Structure 1
Amino acid sequence: MTSDFPKPVFRPSGTFDRLFPSEDPAEVSRAAHSTATTLLARVRREEDPEVIERLISFTASHGIDDIAHLWSRSPAKSLPGALWRLYLVQLSIHDDPQTASLLYERGRGELRTTDQIVAGAPTPATPAELVALIDTILRGAFTGDFAVALDRTAAFCRVQASGATHLADDYEAMEPARSTQLTRRALRLTSIAEDLTIASRMWRRDELG
């Protein structure tokens, strides 16, 4: 894949290339929905702390490829699509917490909304605190209100998108290439936030399958 990958895929480390090379799309879709539904139901039913922690740390231990193979081609407005985006945001923060913190803090200072309150990050948010925050949000997706986890992640993305947009403006005159990179990142974060917000509404209406 080139750098112009289809939205809303946000590649923090360029590791999302092995995506269903030959499988039947209908089978892939059925498998994605089945695994997402089964996983979420089983974790919520058993509430095994060890299993939950393994899921939270999955990308740190195994990378993103296995999850990508399961869910990355699912529609945004579906359960596997929502789970894919949650893991993708988590990985982006784990992969580069310094940049995540920089974008979040700049966005927090610029954005005049309640998103920073919804996201729940401390003020100011250090890189380590943002890593802990996204893990907490993902844990909540498996153990608490799934819609709340989606809303918190969407809010987090909007704050970061604001930060990326304003930093892009700062770099525009002196480093246009960097400015373009930040603008693209802001657009991807905004797209992910929109998808998660819609998925949250659908979950509350029992329509997210």
Structure 2
Amino acid sequence: MSRQHHRPMTPGAGFFAEIVGGTDPALVTEAADRAAHLLVRGARESADAAVADRLLHLADTEGIETIAEVWSGAPADSLAGALWRLFLLRSWVHAEPVAVAREFEAGRSRAQVARVVAGVADPPGPEQLRSMVDEVLRGITSSDFADVLLRAAAFARVVATGRAHLAEPSEAEVRRMLVLSEQLEAAGHSELAHRLQ
């Protein structure tokens, strides 16, 4: 008995149109990258001084969490990835200012250069740390973005140093903060070299 051979069906545009699925990941990534570009490059090019304050409070008032969630998957050496890390750092400082102040205090005498670069008031209480992190993020629109990244990296390094000398944080928590510092610093150097996209 001979079998007839048929050409396999070639799925065309109509076939794919019938597939029900989620949002195209490539489009989501593109939108997240575009939003990051507009927030950093577009904000800096704006002459409106209020842009800095709007950007600073975006996470609190305008639902940046959705975009930030998409940024969370972006590589650390990208604009979107750098913004994710900055907003993550700010959110943490605002959520746990007392713990942050304690960790920063424990690290500041051991990471002198980073403490100076971070620019935190002496002594660093919870309110001073909130002000510092807000000032750093305000710099996204008003100063060199590389400076913003390097100051945030220095702050995270002081905190990582402090965590390493306190009994409570685990080694994994210390390592996470150190990695955050290293990623922000690398992004800052990429920005200085005009390679941060």
TM-score w.r.t. the length of structure 1 is 0.78
1:34 deviates by 1.2
The letter of the residue matching 1:167 is L
Q: Which segment drifts farther, 100-109 or 47-56?
A: 47-56
The equivalent residue for 1:24 is: 24
The two structures, once aligned, show a CA RMSD in angstroms of 1.8
The equivalent residue for 1:109 is: 109
The equivalent residue for 1:145 is: 144
1:63 deviates by 6.2
Shift in CA distance, 63/164, structure 1 to aligned 2, threshold 3 Å: farther
Question: Over alpha carbons, which structure has the higher Rg?
Answer: 2
The equivalent residue for 1:18 is: none
The equivalent residue for 1:158 is: 157
1:48 deviates by 1.8
1:125 deviates by 0.5
1:67 deviates by 3.4
Unmatched tracts of structure 1, length 5 or more: 1-20, 169-177
Q: How does 1:60-71 map to 2 (within 5 A)?
A: 60-62=60-62, 65-71=65-71
Match of 1:192 among 157, 162, 180: 180
The answer on whether the counterparts of 1:137 and 1:152 sit within 8 Å (CA) in structure 2 is yes
1:24 deviates by 2.9
Shift in CA distance, 72/22, structure 1 to aligned 2, threshold 3 Å: farther
The answer on whether the counterparts of 1:115 and 1:156 sit within 8 Å (CA) in structure 2 is yes
Shift in CA distance, 137/23, structure 1 to aligned 2, threshold 3 Å: same
Tell whether 2:30 aligns with 1:42: no
Aligned length: 177
Whole-Å Cα distance in 2 between the matches of residues 31 and 59 of structure 1?
17
Seq. identity, %: 37
The equivalent residue for 1:173 is: none
